[in-house]
Every structure is written in C-alpha cells, then in structure tokens.
A and B are shown apart, each in its own frame.
Chain A
Amino acid sequence: MSKFQALERYENSLKSGYRLLPFRFTQLSGDDYVLSNLVGEFVVLKRSVLNDFSKGCLLPHDPAFEELKSKHFLIDDDSSVVVDLLALKLRTKLAPLANFTALHLFVTTLRCDHSCPYCQVSRANDDRQEFDMSEETALKSIDLAFRSPSQVLKFEFQGGESLLNLNLIRFIIEEVKRRNAEQRRDIQFVIATNLALLSDEAIELARQHDVLISTSLDGPEELHNRNRPRPGNDSYKRTIEGIQRVRRELGRDRVGALMTTTAASLSLVRGIIDEYIAQDFRGIFLRPLSPYGFAIKTKFYQAYDQSKWLEFYFEGLDYIIDLNLKGFGFTEYYAAMVLRKMLTPFQPGYVDLLSPSGAGVAAVVYNYDGDVYASDESRMLAEMGDKRFCIGNVHSNTYEEIFLNDTLLEALESSFAASVPMCSWCAFEPYCGADPVFHHATQSDFVGKKPLSAFCNRNMSVFKGLIERMNSRPEVREIFERWAYM
C-alpha cells in the first residue's frame, strides 16, 4: 500500500457541503449575473448557476464552485482560514478611513482671468482684494489641517485662478514647512492653475518646494477656447505653453491636466484624447459634467443627457483600450480608479466614490473668507445659494465643531451606501460611493432615490461596462490589471 493518500481523502466538502458567505448579485445583461463579496471580489455567472449556488446544490467539482471558493463566496469543511483572509481584506479596504482628512484645499482667491460659463465661483479679474484669502485666514486653516491625524497631508491651492494670489501661496507653503520641521509628516503641494499667468516667480516657487502643477485642458484648441473664454481668446495657447514650460523647467511628470466635460465635448471624445496624447500625457480622466456652478443655471446640465455622456465615455474608453492593444500605453483614470477597487485589495481615495462619503473626510475646502466646506462641490453649491455643506468658519469654530458638524455627520451617516435602499443590495456597492452632496443638490436628500439618480445611473453603467469588457476579452483584462495597479 502506498504511503501516500489520494486527493479525495482531503476533499471534505464532498461530504460537508458548503455554506454561503455574504455576497450580492446584480444582473449584467441577459443571462449574466455579477456576484460580489464585501471586499469587492467578483464572479460572473449564468442565472441558473447562481440559482444552484444560492440553493446550496452546486457540486464541488463544478468550475464555478472552485472559482466561488477561491474568491471567498463560500466556506466548507476544508478550510476556515477564509474568514481570516476576508477580515484582513476588509481591514485593508477600510484602513484609509483612520487617516481622516489628507487633502486640504485652499481657495486662495476667487479672482480669475477667465470667464468660463460653467464656473460658478470665480469673479472678474480686477485688483480688488476682497476675494483674496488673508494671511490670518490661511494661518487658522493651517492650524486645522495639522489637526488631521493623517501622516500624509496634501495642500492644494485653488481659485478662481490661484496664481493671482501667489504671495499667499508662498506664505502658506513656507508656514507649512516651518511647522512640519517638527511634525515630520509627508507633505505634498499642488497648485491648480489654468497656467495663463505662469510667472517666473511661480515656477521658482514650484521648483523650490516640489510643487505639482495641476491644470485644465479641455481638448483641442477650438473646444478649449470655447469652454474657457478669456480676453484675447488665447486660453489654449497659454495653457499649452505653460505645460511645456513646466515640463522643461520642473520635469515632465510635474504637470497633470484635468478636463471639464461640457455639452460641446460630447461628440469630440477622440479629438480630446488625441489632444492629450499630442501633449504627451499618458492618460486622461474622462470626467462627468458636474451639476454645479453655472452649469445648472445656464441649462447646460439639463441639456446634458446622461446617456450621451455614457456614449461619450465608452467611445473614449474603447478608443483608449484599442490604443493599448496596439501597444501604446495610455490610461483612462476614472476606469483605473474603479478597477483598483475591483481588482486589487486597495481602496483608492477618490473623493466622489467613497462610502462613507469622502465629504469632509477625504478632503476639506478652506474658502477665501474662512468658510470651511465639506467638498469642492459644497462650495459651488453655496455660491448657488445653498450653504448646507458649509461646516464652519476657521475664525469662529474649533476643529471639533467643524468636523463634528451636525449636517456633516448626518450626511455621512445617512448616506452610507451599505445601508441605504438599493445600494445595500447592489453588487456594485463595494466599488461605489455615497455622495450626499450630489444627492442633496439634485434631490434635496442626502440619500437620494437611486433609480432617479444620475450618479447611480452613470456609475452602474460604468461598472457594468468595465466588467463586461474584461470578462469577454482576456487581453482587455490584462490592460485593466495594469491600470489597477498603477
């Protein structure tokens, strides 16, 4: 007799059967269903297999059984370490919450040289200082930023056109660095600017303090200039020159660009992507149009058809996938961020797709006048007359008063996706977010009715689109894995 035992001897599930671990499922299309567990692992199954599985009658040698077991959708008598692994993965996904606020946005001025129709907040570029942040306000804001327990602190300067108050940016950077000599946190600075007014001083400041530049590039010249009017109608030219200058003087990876999607963008996705490629970017964030700012007032938002945006998005995504298949590495960042949730143990900190919501938690905004907002969108909402998400003022409130603000806490708690109708049984909940600010703005309710929510509709379509693409084509999955682990 052999001293070795046969495989069956170790296969306890043959006798024990299996028990289900927590999972949710949502129909993809037709007969295909996606199942996800609480840490975001997913399996796509036919309806009949899902049926068998949930009834407990899937057999151990079924390939679906093995996949479900490997990805921790079931537990049997072979192994109990599954539970430890799930716990570890859940802890990893939730770990970033303990850091609380890492991103601190400073609105250094509302003045701007542009007059973009979709922007609500900026004011004409005159020399009136009343829309500039004062040093006192900056100091109080820095106090609050350093109260955050996060080891990483990111200071981002916004406007208006932030560079119009360059002296204050310098003041803040120097003050932060002075304090950090003792605190020793990991500090990053970002200046968000349209680059039209990039001066030698600004370049020098960025060089000295390793500041990243984040700019706006909406697409080809005509579209960009149409979206971003300024005297001389030369926004595109100035932005491109600025990008090149930053690359030349600070390094090619020291500048990033964001696009704003407008109604005029919707038919031009390839042109927009080509523009980014021509400008030597290795990726693009195909952004949804925000419902804030002038957008709603000028009827852009109403005209903006959700399904048109989805067409725009998927046309762009497929175009980018195709570039990758042909060997040119280029990333769509919205997909990359979702894929990081789907394919890795990590939880990216993208503010709009967090649950509990990232409002006030992942990021916080210090406005020029000392008002503190739970997010950039909250500030825009306030400019439209709704100050609901103004959670305090640096001059009159303490750290505790601001971050334990009743509205903020209520919004965070009531919108928590895992416990609200529809999200709580949605297979995409591990990838999705809560966004109480959006739902308050559009439905006057922190939770919102998801079937009516553009946020839900858009994200669900993106989640499905990504899963379908990688599931039907292994070569696309490979590209997606690369994006996810970037």
Chain B
Amino acid sequence: MIVLGTQSARYSGEIPVFERRAVRASTDPYRPEALRKREAFLVNGDSVPEGFGWYIFVNRPVTAVNAPTIELPSDFDFLADGDVLRLTPTKNSLRVLFRRNASVNSFLLTERCNNFCLMCSQPPRNVNDGWIVDEILEALPLIDTDVPEIMFSGGEPTLLGSRFLDLVRACKSYLPRTALHILSNGRSFSDPAFAKSLGDIGHHDIMVGIPVYSDLAHVHDYVVQADGAYDETIRGILNLKQTGVPVEIRIVMHKQTVPRLSALAEFLTRNLLFVEHVALMGLEMTGFTKANLGDLWVDPADYAEELKRAVGILDRAKIKTSIYNSQLCLIDRSIWRFARRSISDWKQEYMPECQSCAVMDQCGGFFSSAELKYSSHIQPIPC
C-alpha cells in the first residue's frame, strides 16, 4: 500500500515563505545546474550534489546541506526521479501529486458532484476546493513530457466550468504527447456550447469516460440518485460526439445494473455505436458502496452469463470492450480476453484461495477493500 500524503514531514533550514508549492523531485546528480534551484533532490547515497532548491531525506539522517531539507518516513521509499510533490511547510505536510512510475496518474479536480451515486467510491463533498485547480496548473508543467497518460477525476471535474477547460488547455500545452483521460458524468456537456468549447481546444489525445448505467432512464437516475441525469448524460455524449471528442462508456456492475446488462449493450450498439470503448467494471467495496451493500451486492458468479451475453453483443458490433476489476475464475473463459488487470498495483490483492491458481499472474485480483465482501465462488484455476 502506497501512502501519498503525510502531515509529519519535517521541514528545516531556511524555508521560503509560501503556503504551498509544487516541485519536481530528482535523483540525478548531473542535473543541469540551471534547473536545480527549483527542484528537490532525493538523497539516496553519500554524494549530495549542490544547488538544488530542496533536499529530501527518506528514512535516513539529515546531513548538512546548503538548502532547506525535508525528512520523510519510510512510507515514501517509492519516491523516484520525476515525481512531482506538493510542499506545505507551514503544516508539516507533503503530498505526492504525480508518480513518474505509476501506470496512470489521476488528478482529483474537485470533490463536488451533481450526482450522488449509490456506489460512489469518492463520496462528494460540497466544499470550496478551488485551490486544487491552481495546484494542478502549477504541477502540469513539471511533469515529464514522455508520460503516456494522465487522468482527471473527481467529484465531477466539469463543475469547474471554464477552470476545467483551462486545465485541459494546460495539458495540451505542457504535455503534447500525453493522453488525457477524463472521468465525468457527462451532464455538463448537455450544454452544446460547453461541449464545443472542449472540442475546440483540440487536445491531441483526449477521451471522456462517462457512466451509463441502464438503457432505462429511471434506473440510471436511481443509481446516480439524480432525476433527469440520464437525459443530460446521453445528450452530453451526443454533443461530445458532435464536436469530435472521443467518449468511453463506463458501467459498474451491481444488483441494479446487471439485470439489464445485455439490454444496455444492445442499446449502446443501436444508439451510441460511435463510442471509443466500453468498460464493464466490478464493484469496489469503498465509499458509499458499504452503506448500500444490500442494494448493490450481487455475486459475480450470478451475473457471469449476463456479462458474457453483453460482452458478446458489444464485441460483435465491433465496439472495443474491456472488463475491469474482475476475477478470471468468475467470468466465462470465452471472455477472458476482454479482462484487463486494471486495479492499480498498490490496491491489488489476492485471496487465500488464489495461492494455487494457475492464472494468478493474468488475473486482475481484488481491490484490497474486497475483504469486506467477495464472491463465494473463487475457484483456483488448475494448471
């Protein structure tokens, strides 16, 4: 498990006055001197090059240097060259904004949301968190340009309105080779002008991932706990298509969505065939899911048939389809090729049953939160 933030960073030395600041971490002793001033050096041996703005000591004694130092506990062993950190010296706090080695880096843009999904893993809070945008705008130019992909999530990122568009523009400018994946409920794009202003940015490699939970409006509205959300989401998707922004459909599988999964698949092929990708996702046992477990939990073994049908419909219609957060022993072998190992390395776990399984290295495993509830049909696959 990786810890991304701490309130017990120890800052010492002559600390410049600011509330928070984003800096890039470096392990490179040959870093051009012209860049050192604004970067933090991760001390990892005895040789300590001169001239860096900050020196970070992870789980090691601080040695005397000519600049402010930060001492961190061993949880931060993973820090690597190119990581971007947010420093808040006045609160002894430090947060990792970007990890160079993570397969995908996700930026939470806001905690606010206009949906209130039964299974939200990041329960929305109505707070004034506009500072997050400033922080990300500051961090983006520090990210190495060869990073393949970054993600914007929330809350609902588009609630930021023009500030959201500023962020997309910044991605286009500062990360000209990096894909941008945005997780949104799509409702804001029901305003054609807003959708168009996203399209007009002309980002080189953008995709908006939007959940559609049912072919029937009221079921979707119930799942997201917002009357009228379905119509706005669908209109949003159509408007994005109109303006040339690629869309991905994301479907979380649970008790409310699986009974009509193949009907939804057919609906997608008939109405939204133009989408770039459909992701069918297993339920994560976090956030609101725990509170609504009774209305959400269904053993994946019990919807395996329906999942197979839905994937077949999408695949025959040539829609690119993936299954996320699923365990191979719970899905039909014929659709294994759609299953992706999607759970990020540090959240992924396996159950005791898995130890003798022949396909453990291909199986996505479980969210660590799955301990709360997982299928009673986990069945190691024999060699």
Give B175-231 interface residues, CB cut-off 8 Å to A.
215-219, 221-222, 225, 227, 230-231
Task: Let me know if B216 and A345 touch, CB within 8 A.
Answer: no
25 pairs, CB–CB < 8 Å, chain A vs chain B: A3-B116, A4-B292, A5-B222, A5-B225, A11-B222, A13-B218, A41-B270, A67-B263, A69-B216, A70-B215, A71-B270, A79-B218, A79-B230, A81-B235, A85-B234, A88-B238, A89-B270, A344-B269, A344-B273, A345-B269, A481-B313, A481-B316, A482-B316, A485-B316, A485-B317
Contact A89 B271 (CB under 8 A): yes
Chain B residues contacting A478 (CB-CB under 8 Å) are: 312, 316
A344 to B318, CA, bound (A): 11
Q: B219 contacts which chain A residues (CB < 8 A)?
A: 7, 10
Residue B267 interfacial (CB < 8 Å): yes
Is B328 engaged at the interface, CB distance under 8 Å to the other chain?
no
Please give 20 more A-B residue pairs, beta carbons under 8 A apart, in addition to A41-B270, A84-B238.
A3-B116, A4-B116, A5-B222, A9-B222, A10-B218, A12-B218, A12-B227, A69-B216, A70-B215, A78-B230, A79-B230, A85-B234, A85-B238, A85-B271, A344-B269, A344-B273, A345-B269, A345-B271, A345-B273, A482-B316
Q: Mark A64-98, 1 if CB is under 8 A from B, else 0.
A: 00110111000000111100110011000000000
Q: How does the 8 Å CB contact mask read for A442-486 relative to B, with 1 for contact and 0 for none?
A: 000000000000000000000000000000000000100110010
Report which A residues bind B (CB closer than 8 A): 3-7, 9-13, 41, 66-67, 69-71, 78-81, 84-85, 88-89, 344-345, 478, 481-482, 485
Kindly state the separation between the CA atoms of A78 and B235 in the bound complex, as whole angstroms: 14
- A286 to chain B minimum Cβ distance, whole angstroms, is 23
Closest chain B residue to A481, Cβ basis: B316
Which are the 4 A-B pairs with shortest beta-carbon distances?
Answer: A79-B217, A78-B217, A81-B231, A10-B221
B150 within 8 A of A: no
The reply to whether A485 and B318 contact each other, CB–CB distance below 8 Å, is yes
Per the bound structure, the CA–CA distance linking A11 and B256 in Å amounts to 14
Q: Which residues of B contact A71 (CB under 8 A)?
A: 270
Q: Given the complex, which residues of B lie within 8 Å of A4, measured CB to CB?
A: 116, 118, 225, 291-292
Closest to B227 in A: A10
CA distance A7 to B219 in the complex (A): 7
CA distance A344 to B319 in the complex (A): 12
Pick from A7, A78, A80, A89 the residue with the most CB of B within 10 Å.
A78
* A345–B270 CB distance below 8 A: yes
CA distance in complex: A80, B231 (Å): 7
Contact B235 A11, beta carbon cutoff 8 Å:
no
Whole-angstrom distance from the CB of A42 to the nearest CB of chain B?
11
**Do the beta carbons of B317 and A81 come within 8 Å of each other?**
no
In the assembled complex, the CB of A176 is this many whole angstroms from the nearest CB of chain B, namely: 32
Residue of B nearest to A71 (CB): B270
User: Contacts A4-B118, A69-B216, A80-B231 known; A481 to B221 CB distance under 8 Å?
Assistant: no
